[in-house]
C-alpha cells in the first residue's frame, strides 16, 4: 500500500513547482522489452503453465523466425505489456535517465486525483 503523501496539494507555490517539474521532464512509462527478454519470459511462462513452448534459436533474430515463432513471440510480448500496465506506477519500468525517473515517480502521485491532485486517473 502506498503511504498518503505528507505535502499539501492545495499550496499554490508547491503546485506551481510540481507543474514546472512535470512540464520540463521527458520520462515515459513505455515498456519495450529486449527481444531475448521476451523469449526468456515466454519459456518461463510455458513452464509455469505446463504448456509446450515453441523453440527459439540461441541468438534471437526476429527476421529469421518461423511463423510459429513470430506468433509465440508477439503473443508473449503483448502479454508482458499487459502485465506491465497492471503494475503500480512506482514499480513500472520507465525510459529516461535516473533523475527524470525519480521526478516522475515523485510527481505522479501529487497529480493523481486519488491523492488529492487535479488529474483523474482511471
**pLDDT per residue over 32-86, tens digit each?**
888 999 999 999 999 999 999 999 988 888 888 999 999 999 999 999 999 988 8
Whether residue 40 is found in the same domain as residue 81:
yes
Task: Give the structural domain span for 57.
Answer: 36-88
Same domain, 83 and 119: no
Q: Do the beta carbons of residue 76 and residue 45 sit within 8 Å?
A: yes
Same structural domain, 79 and 43:
yes
Based on the domain organization, do 44 and 72 belong to the same domain? yes
Q: How many domains does the chain have?
A: 2
According to the model, what pLDDT value does residue 8 have?
Answer: 81
Nearest alpha-carbon partner for 111 in 86, 89, 81, 83: 89
49 and 79 housed in the same domain: yes
pLDDT of 69 reads 94
Give mean pLDDT, residues 21-34.
78
Contact 31, 94 (CB under 8 A): no
CA atoms within 13 A of residue 23's CA, in its CB half-sphere: 6
Residues 42, 63, single domain; the answer is yes
Residues 42, 83: one domain? yes
For residues 77 and 48, membership in a common domain is answered with: yes
Question: Looking at the structure, do residues 23 and 41 belong to the same domain, yes or no?
Answer: no
Amino acid at each position: 500500500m502506498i503511504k498518503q503523501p505528507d505535502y499539501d496539494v492545495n499550496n499554490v507555490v508547491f503546485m506551481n513547482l510540481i507543474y514546472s517539474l512535470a512540464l520540463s521532464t521527458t520520462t515515459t512509462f513505455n515498456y519495450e522489452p529486449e527481444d531475448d527478454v521476451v523469449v526468456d519470459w515466454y519459456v518461463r511462462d510455458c513452464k509455469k503453465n505446463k504448456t509446450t513452448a515453441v523453440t527459439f534459436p540461441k541468438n534471437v533474430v526476429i527476421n529469421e523466425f518461423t511463423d510459429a515463432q513470430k506468433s509465440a513471440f508477439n503473443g508473449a510480448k503483448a502479454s508482458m505489456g499487459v502485465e506491465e500496465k497492471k503494475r503500480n506506477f512506482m514499480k513500472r519500468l520507465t525510459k529516461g535517465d535516473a533523475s527524470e525517473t525519480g521526478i516522475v515517480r515523485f510527481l505522479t502521485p501529487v497529480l493523481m486525483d486519488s491523492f488529492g491532485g487535479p488529474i483523474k486517473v482511471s
